[in-house]
Amino acid sequence: MRTKQGTAAEIDMDTAARLRLVVMRLARRLRQQAEFDASPTMLSAMATIERGPLTLGGLAEAERVQPPTMTRVVARLEEVGLITRVPDPQDKRVARVSLSADGKRMLARNRSRKTAYLAKRLRATNVAEADLAKAVELLETILNED
């Protein structure tokens, strides 16, 4: 593995490209740990729904997808019993989606399984906890800028 010393302004396109590829491969491996055949969009929608009941429009906006896409995702999640639709108390024409008990359990198991997979792989690298925490903080900073 090549390393470079320098400032953030000196990060070259090669390093950025390598990081992109590593992140994509890691995300794919983590997706493969899912117990249920769920798309990344479905799992992301469930994680967003977990924060609180949302309308389909609110969910589509939070997930940055078009409403028809989210309608299909929600229909599939509802079909397999992972979410429920509840009429909005103030406006009966609007429904809010929430995780069902099965959805909460599945999401928790999914996260636990992926975290265990990642923890096992990280322990095998003998990386220092401080170095890992620094890398995580950097990635969080990148994501929070959007």
| Spatial separation of the C-alpha atoms in residues 54 and 32, rounded to whole Å | 28
| pLDDT at res. 6 | 56
| pLDDT at res. 8 | 60
| 1: pLDDT strictly greater than 80 | no
| 48: pLDDT strictly greater than 90 | yes
Q: What is the pLDDT of residues 62-91, one digit of tens each?
A: 999 999 999 999 999 999 999 999 988 888
Domain 32-144 CATH class label: mainly alpha
DSSP per position, 72-119:
HHHHHHHHTTSEEEEE-SS-TT-EEEEE-HHHHHHHHHHHHHHHHHHH
Closest by CA position to 46, among listed 116, 106, 119 = 106
Confidence of residue 20 (pLDDT cuts 50, 70, 90): very high
Percent of the chain with pLDDT over 70: 92
Higher per-residue pLDDT: 139 or 36: 139
Average pLDDT, rounded, for the chain? 89
| 123: pLDDT strictly greater than 80 | yes
| pLDDT at res. 91 | 87
| pLDDT at res. 128 | 92
| 9: pLDDT strictly greater than 80 | no
